[in-house]
Amino acid sequence: MRNFDFSPLYRSAIGFDRLAHLINEAQRAEATPSYPPYNIELVNEDQYRISMAVAGFDRSEIEIETERDVLKIVGRKAKPETQGTFLHRGIASRDFEHSFRLADHVKVVGARLDNGLLNIELQREIPEAHKPRRILIDGEPLRTVNNVAAPDQLQAA
């Protein structure tokens, strides 16, 4: 495992220590098992989907929660009252826990369990205050309507 030196970044950028921490965390996570298997899909520019293969798990055995910028998925398999005799056991039914770090403004908007796949839908929702806006030089404060400068102010620009 290789550690990166982020000191050049710290000389010219402020607030990126969180990014360095995330990269180091991701390096450590590579060694952890990835059961159950999952996909992370970019549905469109601001929509994502996590699909996790949870065959054999019931809705009541899966918990999904978010706290701050972390999505946590936990599966706790209920212990059967009687254990059968298996000649081959290829379907895993062990407990699991996965955590995903969410970027700023990414929210979970829904989850569904369908044919053994848990699909979690995520959406990036950027607040109006963080969207780009045009600033006039030596002009009046800019009024915006749907993030577009009012027509009278565009002529002055």
Q: Identify which has the larger pLDDT, 23 or 96.
A: 96
**What is the reported pLDDT for 3?**
65
Q: Poorest-confidence range of 12-16, 77-81, 99-103?
A: 12-16
Instruction: Please indicate, yes or no, whether the overall pTM of this predicted structure exceeds 0.85.
Output: no
Question: Taking the alpha carbons of 131, 136, 137, 138 in that order, is the dihedral positive or negative?
Answer: negative
Q: What's the pLDDT score for residue 143?
A: 58
Q: What is the pLDDT of residue 157?
A: 44
Domain with CATH 2.60.40.790 in the chain: 34-81+88-126
Say which CATH architecture domain 34-81+88-126 belongs to: Sandwich (2.60)
